[in-house]
Amino acid sequence: MQDLPPEPPPGKHPAFIVRAREPLNGGPPPELLRRSPVTPADLFFVRSHGAIPQIDPASYRLSVGGMVRRPLELTLADLREQFPRRVLAATLQCAGNRRDELLAVADIPGEVPWGAEAIGSAEWAGAPLRDVLLAAGVEAAAAHAAFAGLDEVERQGRRFTYGGSIPLEKALGQEVLLAYEMNGAPLAPLHGAPLRVVVPGYIGARSVKWLGAIRLQPEPSDNYFQAHAYKLFPPQVSAANADWERGLALGELSVNAVICSPERGRALGAGQLLVRGYAFAGGGRAVERVDVSADGGATWLSAELLGERSRWAWRFWEARLDLAPGAHRIVARAWDAAANTQPEQLRHVWNFKGYMNNAWHRVDVTVE
């Protein structure tokens, strides 16, 4: 990795960890994420694949086309005035969250070594995608909604715009927004100004920023980031022998709990320890339970879930542990509404792109 200057990017918190500067990728120390269930914009992680485009909101147009009866060209004012405004608390998580732990199993070259900070939850406001698609008139043969960003990316010697798609059934869900605001303020350029799609419950990659066009079509997007990247392969497959057609194109997120404090390697004083973290489940399944262990998973207790049950936003949790002096391995795992839980071992989820790590989260500490 290149030597990175210590200062945070404009608009971001002084503690923001810059994982890559061009294009910009970074997020907050997970301990700071636990401050508020609504992540302030200055702590919200940034995942970008190309340079941040500067788009003039006055001349901006969203085009809606493909298999629709009435193609639309919408200004920001049209989106605000012709469609209902919906506000929704929803968590975005990158498929690469927690990749750094997978690196301990085997190398993952060329990917951002995210810790557990590639996640954030915001109050998004915007027009429901459903209403916009219904206004355009969905044709019967349409099966996928493809999104095209206005940012340029370079891969394999080609320049193209970022994109991806979601199944039409998901696109017609009430929860998918064409968001123009984040936490009550207009979207910041880093997060997709002036308009992005927010696809709750799906990997962050489908929440296309700087949205330029929506197209209804019979098949998934052929954009690199749908057809090639963000695919999940079994552990025996490598970049050299991957058959890209056969990978699982990622959509819904899986259930995941993370310990935000104490941090790894901390030396702690004797007495009761408050363990705090976040948990999130994909696909609109709420988090139902978080288990915490102070002995590497031999015995467990149930953490207290804080705040409201939600299908689309994470849940904070905490647990009090009595730890004797010595070394301890604290472990957390969550369960969702379908009783899905997390796999025990990192090596069982390792894949050469380092996606979807939801193995038990472990933090080793020493009590003095």
Which residues are near ligand MTE by CB under 6 A?
A: 44-49, 92, 94, 149, 151, 162, 191, 204-205, 207-210
Rank residues 122 and 127 by Cβ distance to ligand MTE and give the closer one.
122
Rank residues 190 and 279 by Cβ distance to ligand MTE and give the closer one.
190
CB of 210 to ligand MTE, least distance (A): 5
CB of 362 to ligand MTE, least distance (A): 24
Rank residues 161 and 342 by Cβ distance to ligand MTE and give the closer one.
161
* d(C-alpha 27, C-alpha 199), whole Å: 20
* d(C-alpha 276, C-alpha 117), whole Å: 14
Rank residues 256 and 293 by Cβ distance to ligand MTE and give the closer one.
256
CB of 237 to ligand MTE, least distance (A): 21
CB of 283 to ligand MTE, least distance (A): 16
Residue type, 85: R
* d(C-alpha 132, C-alpha 134), whole Å: 5
Cis-peptide, bond into residue 235, ω within 30° of zero: no
Rank residues 44 and 352 by Cβ distance to ligand MTE and give the closer one.
44
Rank residues 39 and 310 by Cβ distance to ligand MTE and give the closer one.
39
What's the DSSP call for residue 36? -
H helix intervals, 172-280: 224-227
CB of 205 to ligand MTE, least distance (A): 4
CB of 181 to ligand MTE, least distance (A): 13
Pairing outcome for strands 361-367 and 267-268: parallel
Please list, residue by residue across 220-233, b when 16 or more beta carbons sit within 10 angstroms of its beta carbon and e when fewer do: bbebbbbbbbbbeb
Measuring CA to CA, which residue among 80, 301, 96 is closest to residue 205? 96
What's the DSSP call for residue 68? B
CA distances from 123 to 99, 182, 251 (A): 26, 6, 21
